[in-house]
Structure 1
Amino acid sequence: MDFNLTDDRRMLADTLARYLGDKYTIEHRNAVAYELPCHDPAKWDEMAELGALYALASEDAGGFGGTGFDISVVFEALGRALCPEPVLAALLSSRLLTAAGAGQDALLKGAVRYAAALSELDAPYNIADVACAAEVRGDGHVLSGRKSAVYGGQVADVLLVAARLEGKVALFEVQARDAQVIGYAMIDGGGAAEVLLDDTAARLLIADASDAIEAAQNAGIVALCAEAVGAMQLAHDTTVDYMRQRKQFGVPIGKFQVLQHRAVDMLTEIEQARSITIKAAAELDGDQASRYASMAKNMIGRAARLVAEEAIQMHGGIAMTWEYPVSHYAKRLVMLDHQLGDTDYHLSRVMSGNMSA
């Protein structure tokens, strides 16, 4: 496997990293991330102009990327900057629209914001447990039910909703203005929404969407893993830099061997996480995509928690303060495990060998 980025991907990574470093500082991020709409429309437009969204879709769908490695490049940069913009929502929606053969030019331009309303209170991860119901009404369909933790739903113009139709899980397009959307800020930054549907008009996109939804979730998992790698690397770099500057007993604490060993353990976890993310990205369009996505998400969940806890402990009390960036990185790394399936869920999937459960 070639671990090196192509020239185009390296250019995208460098461009996005420079932009986020200059325009999306941690101070700006914290000002945006924790209060509705948890989104900076001006920065969203600028990121779209840089091509960040086009990198998420294949050429056939109107983009210029769409592979696991393209997704990883974008989300690792987002992870290093801890960027709360609803790019995950755009990725999930793009994959679903591609599966439906629907146009997505407005999504890729950033002009129309989409969100994928898939999970429910009693079906947080497993799409087979979806209870939101669809029924034929006249020449179209209506939906009734509740969708939970819809990432990016707080600013979405269009919702792609998973609902049960004639015993199968189908995919529908719903205009956000036609549903009751209750947006909120997540504890680790960024926004989500609860979506209430009550005989809400919808347009059928895919009658049997289970495979398309699972494929979109696999892409989302690769994205989250890459985001975690970026955030873990930044947390480690910040910790090592702190160890070089913080003095105890007249010497930098980085001179203490026990702390050096712990820093190396952190780096080892990050490199393992990077490797499994690369493998999951490489397999994203293959027959084993779900298996490797679950393996990656399980490992990332465990590694991210360890890195977050170690970064805080090796910093000491300063890492618990709002003003210090590590506190926000640690919070994101711990909570990221619960998006699109936590460690226990994905471990059970790998153990059972049933990638559709």
Structure 2
Amino acid sequence: MDFDLSEEQRLLKDSVDRLMADRYDFESRQRYAKEPEGWSRDLWSAYAELGLLALPFDEAHGGFGGGPVETMTIMEAFGRSLALEPYLATVILGGGLIQHGGSDEQKAVYLPQVATGDLRLAFAHTERQSRYDLFDIGTTARRDGGSFVLDGQKSVVLHGDSADKILVSARVAGSRRDRDGIGLFLVDANAPGLSRRGYPTQDGQRAAEVTLEGVRVDANNVIGNPEGALPVIERVTDVAIAALAAEAIGAMDEMLKLTVDYLKTRRQFNTTIGSFQVLQHRSSEVFIAVEQGRSMAMFAAMMAQDRNAEERRKAISAAKVQIGRSGRFVGQQAVQLHGGVGMTMEYKVGHLFKRVTMIDILFGDADHHLSKLAEAGGLMAA
């Protein structure tokens, strides 16, 4: 199998890497985090000009028809720079739900706006009791004539405080943990009855608690089958996990680079500490962990669009397990090898470790996906 990038993919990688190197050093990131929305609108416009926001969508909807390899390239660069902008929330989750579940009219209306950077989306799905189960939905959607009325609460809505529209999952029929009966609704962020409480997360990103009290949604804002949205949600979540795996690899790469550079410059006992064999061995172990994670991130990218949901889920779970384990090991070793400076707010390594830890938790940590993989009989049949 050929893992080399095509000429177009190499050009994309060079463009994204150059943009992030020029405009997203660690000091700039700290400045962007202090902006009102917790990220840079100027950088968001730059992403749009470069075509990054349009990349996954079909040409008919203002996109470039890019696939998971292109997404992986972008997310790795974002991971190295600790990008704060709502790319995952808007393009991969929100845009992906409309792309895979929306009607032709919905795609034609909303996806071009996402591609130009004029529309920001968020996906309100997680609830306090649901943990990692995508089918555990207590928020209700009651039919009322030709519309639906939504009631419930959603937690940790990524970039929900700055979104223009929010995709809300709600139960139209069945009990709380039924797989059937779940609908997906596109709600204006300023709709009557919808309230948001935004807050920073541990890794410097933004999230929101969203409360819906009698929020009315017209039938033309229902995404797909109002009682059969779960397969679309699962598919887009798998794509998001593959993207997060690539972001984690970018962050781990950066931790390895910073650590090796530190070992080459930090002096103790009249020599650089990188000359000590035990620390060279430790660095080699970190490198191996990064490469193990990279191989599984590539596997996740290859399988993210597989139509066989069972095989796709096994591949994604296997990648999540390795990314979680590699991320923890790389982060722990990077901080320890840096000593006290690795834990300071003024140094990048600790922030990278925080982001990798949050990626492990998003959509199920390594332990959760290991149990799922065991229930499915493993990645490959015995």
**TM-score, normalised via structure 2 length:** 0.90
1:213 and 2:233 correspond: yes
1:187 and 2:187 correspond: no
Alignment of 1:4-23 (within 5 A): 4-23=4-23
Task: Write the distance in 2 (CA, Å) between the matches of 1:57 and 1:198.
Answer: 33
Task: Write the distance in 1 (CA, Å) between the matches of 2:341 and 2:35.
Answer: 24
Q: Secondary structure in 2 aligned to 1:156?
A: coil
Over residues 330-357 of structure 1, what are the superposed CA-to-partner deviations in whole Å (9 max), with x where a residue is unaligned? 11112221111111211121111199xx
Task: Write the distance in 2 (CA, Å) between the matches of 1:262 and 1:328.
Answer: 21
Partner of 2:267: 247
Partner of 1:177: 190
Q: State the percentage of identical aligned residues.
A: 38
1:338 and 2:351 correspond: no
Alignment of 1:118-157 (within 5 A): 118-157=125-164
Paired residues of 1:24 and 1:83 also in contact (CA < 8 A):
yes
Paired residues of 1:151 and 1:191 also in contact (CA < 8 A):
yes
Alignment of 1:150-299 (within 5 A): 150-167=157-174, 168-178=181-191, 179-202=194-217, 203-206=221-224, 207=226, 208-286=228-306, 287=308, 288-299=311-322
Task: Write the distance in 2 (CA, Å) between the matches of 1:61 and 1:259.
Answer: 52
Q: CA deviation at 1:284?
A: 1.3
Partner of 1:57: 57
Q: Give the RMSD, CA atoms, in angstroms.
A: 1.5
Q: CA deviation at 1:35?
A: 6.8
Paired residues of 2:239 and 2:305 also in contact (CA < 8 A):
no
Paired residues of 1:36 and 1:185 also in contact (CA < 8 A):
no
**Relative contact order: is structure 1 or structure 2 higher (C-alpha 8 Å, sep ≥ 6)?**
1
Q: CA deviation at 1:125?
A: 2.1
The amino acid of 1:274's aligned partner reads R
Q: CA deviation at 1:62?
A: 3.7
Task: Write the distance in 2 (CA, Å) between the matches of 1:292 and 1:278.
Answer: 11
Distance 1:66 1:218, change over 3 A: farther
Paired residues of 1:188 and 1:328 also in contact (CA < 8 A):
yes
Task: Write the distance in 1 (CA, Å) between the matches of 2:168 and 2:377.
Answer: 24
Task: Write the distance in 2 (CA, Å) between the matches of 1:258 and 1:66.
Answer: 44
Among 303, 307, 318, which residue is 2:341 paired with? 318
Alignment of 1:301-312 (within 5 A): 301-312=324-335
Of stretches 59-68 and 142-151 in structure 1, the one that deviates more from structure 2 is 59-68
- Structure 1 segments unaligned to the other structure (5+ residues): none
Of stretches 304-313 and 160-169 in structure 1, the one that deviates more from structure 2 is 160-169
Q: CA deviation at 1:31?
A: 2.6
Of stretches 23-32 and 257-266 in structure 1, the one that deviates more from structure 2 is 23-32
Partner of 2:83: 83
Task: Write the distance in 1 (CA, Å) between the matches of 2:238 and 2:60.
Answer: 20
Over residues 49-85 of structure 1, what are the superposed CA-to-partner deviations in whole Å (9 max), with x where a residue is unaligned? 1111112324455421342212111100100111011
Paired residues of 1:45 and 1:110 also in contact (CA < 8 A):
yes
Task: Write the distance in 2 (CA, Å) between the matches of 1:177 and 1:320.
Answer: 40
Distance 1:5 1:240, change over 3 A: same
Over residues 104-130 of structure 1, what are the superposed CA-to-partner deviations in whole Å (9 max), with x where a residue is unaligned? 110111101001111111113212111
Task: Write the distance in 2 (CA, Å) between the matches of 1:38 and 1:65.
Answer: 30
Task: Write the distance in 2 (CA, Å) between the matches of 1:33 and 1:342.
Answer: 26
Over residues 281-320 of structure 1, what are the superposed CA-to-partner deviations in whole Å (9 max), with x where a residue is unaligned? 1111112221111111111011101111100100101111
Distance 1:35 1:307, change over 3 A: farther
Over residues 216-256 of structure 1, what are the superposed CA-to-partner deviations in whole Å (9 max), with x where a residue is unaligned? 10010011100000000011001001101111111111111
Among 319, 331, 351, which residue is 1:328 paired with? 351
For these two proteins, the number of residue pairs brought into alignment is 355
Q: Secondary structure in 1 aligned to 2:135?
A: helix
Over residues 139-198 of structure 1, what are the superposed CA-to-partner deviations in whole Å (9 max), with x where a residue is unaligned? 211110011111121110000111111231111000011110111111111111111001
Task: Write the distance in 1 (CA, Å) between the matches of 2:256 and 2:344.
Answer: 17
- Structure 2 segments unaligned to the other structure (5+ residues): 175-180
